[in-house]
Structure formats: structure tokens, C-alpha cells
Amino acid sequence: MTKGKVISKTVYKDDKPVKNRKWIFSRKQLCIPYGLFLFMFVIFPLLLIVFYAFTDETGKISFYNFIDFFTNPTSITNLFMSIGLAGITTVCCLLIGYPVAYILSKMKQRVAGVIVMLFVLPMWINFVLRAMAMKELLTLIGMFGKNNFLNTVIGMVYDYLPFMIMPLYTTLIKRDRSLEEAAADLGSNRRQVFTKVIFPLSLPGVLSGINMVFLPTMSCYVVSDTFGNGKVTIIGKLIEEQFGVAANWNYGSALALIMLVIMFVTMLLTGGFKPQENMRGANL
């Protein structure tokens, strides 16, 4: 105990700020630009699309755009064409991409890195140019114009294969090899090791690859225009027409909204919204 006379006392208040400033600059303020950006370029356009979709040319609320779409056999055909094309492209990409990614994951990392690079390299060349080149190739071997749907699939697969290989490769390369040893130790032959351990554990990569291929191929009309010889019309093309030549923004917006719903459902089905630990890195 200190002995002595008390000269002065200072009381500290811990729970209340000493100065009561009205405005303090904090980390929260840093979010303002992003919030503005989000509103201006994501939320506002979306609201605009919803507004246009549910109104007619005069600005009155109407469901005519949707009724028109679902009663018109051509647009329904186009919708199924889109989904079918995207589905087949995705399956083809998966069938080609999985073995490639698997083989690459078994190779020495340095060699595999170079080969992965070679697979990704075409992505650096302009997309349209690549499509054109592939079209010329098909013309050269006499396939162009014979089966427009098949050609479109070929074009799509050619363009989107890297997007399937990359998430698969990153998932497979990270896998724990001791699990394969454990499976073999417990009596699995090579095939069973694959079906019971390697493949189930690579599912996050598979789903991520499906998302990366399926969603864009539904709307990527540049490829279907180039390879389809004018016979393959997908929903993306319809939207482009409505906003371009037809200048019917209301119908176009309704189409965009329908596509948004399809994509949303796909994401929901493939678990794209689930924030999973082991999905990290698989999502490019």
C-alpha cells in the first residue's frame, strides 16, 4: 500500500469512448464503393430486367411475354435445344476431360504443369477466332453443314473443354494418396479404388466443371452461329435478336429472366451454392 496524501484522482472510463465524435472513418466506409458498384451494375439492371419482363411496350404490367414464350412451339424447341446442347456438351467435356485430368494428376508435377498449360493455352487466343478456325477445319474435312447440331457440339466442346479439365485437375491433384492405399489395403482392386474412393472424392471438381460448362454453353450463341449453319438457335440467340433486330426489350427481358431461373435451378441441383470446405480451389 502506498502511503501519502491524495493530490488528485483520475477516473478512467473503459466502456465509453472518451471523445464522442459524430463521424469516424472506419473499415466500414471502405465498403461504400463496392456497395454502389453492386447496386448500379447488379441490382439495378436486374430490377430493370424484371420490370421490362412484366410489362408491355406501353409500360403496363402484363404476363403476355411469358405466355407468348410458353405457347410458341418454336421458342419451346429453342429452349430444349439450348438445354440439350448444353447437356450433351457437358457430358462430352466430362467424358474427355476426366481421363485427361486423371492422367495428368498421376504424372510428375512438372511435366503435368506443361501439358495443363498446353490445354489452357488456346483460351488466350480470341474466342471468335478459335471458333472460326475450327469451322474451317470442319469445312476442310467436309463435315460442315452436314449435321449442324453435331458440329455445334464439337465447337462447344472444343471451346469449353479447358473449363472442365481445370477444376477436375485441381481436385484430383490435391487428393490424399494414402486413401487409395487404405482402400487397396482393405481389399479394393484398382477399379474399386477408383469407383469407391477416387471418383466420389473428386465430385466437387466434377460439379464445378459441370457448372463451368453447362451454364455458359446455354447462352453462347457465337459458337452455335458459327457451327450451326444458321440451323441451330439457342436461347441466347433469341435474346440477342430481341434486343437487336426485333427491338422488343420486354420479350427479351422475359427470356433473360427464364434463363436466369434455369441457371439458378442448375446451380441448386449441382450444389453450386453450398460453401463447402473441399470445394475450395475446385471452383476456379
Residue with cell 433469341: 238
Q: Report the distance separating Cα 158 and Cα 93, nearest Å.
A: 9
Choose between 50 and 184: whose C-beta lies nearer to another protein. Answer: 184
Q: Report the distance separating Cα 141 and Cα 134, nearest Å.
A: 11
Choose between 49 and 183: whose C-beta lies nearer to another protein. Answer: 183
Q: Could you tell me the smallest distance in angstroms from the CB atom of residue 195 to another protein?
A: 11
Choose between 174 and 241: whose C-beta lies nearer to another protein. Answer: 174
The residues facing 55 across adjacent strands are: 61
Q: Could you tell me the smallest distance in angstroms from the CB atom of residue 193 to another protein?
A: 8
Choose between 201 and 222: whose C-beta lies nearer to another protein. Answer: 201
* CA-based nearest residue to 103, from 93, 90, 116: 116
Q: Could you tell me the smallest distance in angstroms from the CB atom of residue 167 to another protein?
A: 18
Q: Could you tell me the smallest distance in angstroms from the CB atom of residue 174 to another protein?
A: 12
Q: Could you tell me the smallest distance in angstroms from the CB atom of residue 75 to another protein?
A: 42
Q: What Å distances lie between residue 124 and 79, 89, 100, 130, 176, CA to CA?
A: 31, 21, 20, 10, 32
Residue with cell 419482363: 53
Choose between 115 and 201: whose C-beta lies nearer to another protein. Answer: 201
Choose between 88 and 184: whose C-beta lies nearer to another protein. Answer: 184
Q: Could you tell me the smallest distance in angstroms from the CB atom of residue 281 to another protein?
A: 15
Do residues 207 and 270 touch, judged by C-beta distance below 8 A? yes
Q: Could you tell me the smallest distance in angstroms from the CB atom of residue 50 to another protein?
A: 40
Q: Could you tell me the smallest distance in angstroms from the CB atom of residue 200 to another protein?
A: 5
Q: List Cβ<8 Å contacts ≥24 apart for 227-231.
A: 227/131, 227/134, 227/135, 227/138, 227/144, 227/148, 227/151, 227/152, 227/154, 227/155, 227/156, 228/148, 228/149, 228/151, 228/152, 229/144, 229/145, 229/148, 229/151, 231/148, 231/149
Q: List Cβ<8 Å contacts ≥24 apart for 271-276.
A: 271/207, 272/207, 272/208, 272/211, 276/204
Count of C-beta atoms within a 10 Å radius of residue 114: 9
Binding site for another protein (CB under 8 A): 176, 178-179, 181-189, 192, 196-197, 200-201, 203, 278
Choose between 200 and 244: whose C-beta lies nearer to another protein. Answer: 200
Choose between 111 and 247: whose C-beta lies nearer to another protein. Answer: 111
